[in-house]
Amino acid sequence: MKKLWGEGEHQAEVDDLQKQKAAMENIKILSVLEVMEDQNLHWQLCILIIVIITLQFSGTNAVYFCTFEVLRTAGFEEGLIPYVSLGVGLCVFLPTLLCTFIIEQFGRKTLLCKGYAFMALALSVLTVTLSLQVRRNF
């Protein structure tokens, strides 16, 4: 402690470290089955499942899955496609870092509710516009 923090009384820090060590020894690691059987964790488990399912509707996985084909169809040169695909990945990664700070500022529940509401609105508008586009072509 003296080497890290210099001269002085560090007994409070030592006591705190010992308390943390004791607390870590009492932590029990649960298996997946134990988590599912624990009645106290059902609400958290349901929220987690809902978030994971709704994330599948955001289209992020589709972007990664179809990037090369979309870029090829759009007319990009074959040698340029991996770099543009990397740029697409960075365009997802950087906002993820930014969102870490935004979530701390506004709160998870508020952002999730408003985000899913906006996603539902955007998908509804997309559905209507695609439907109108198909009708117009015939």
pLDDT band at 112 (very low <50, low <70, confident <90, very high): confident
Does the global pTM surpass 0.75? Answer: no
CB 13 within 8 A of CB 1: yes
pLDDT, one tens digit per residue, over 40-96 is: 888 988 998 998 888 888 777 777 778 888 888 888 899 999 999 888 888 888 988
pLDDT at 137: 59
The domain spans of the chain are: 29-58, 66-106, 107-138
Is the pLDDT reported for residue 138 higher than 60?
no
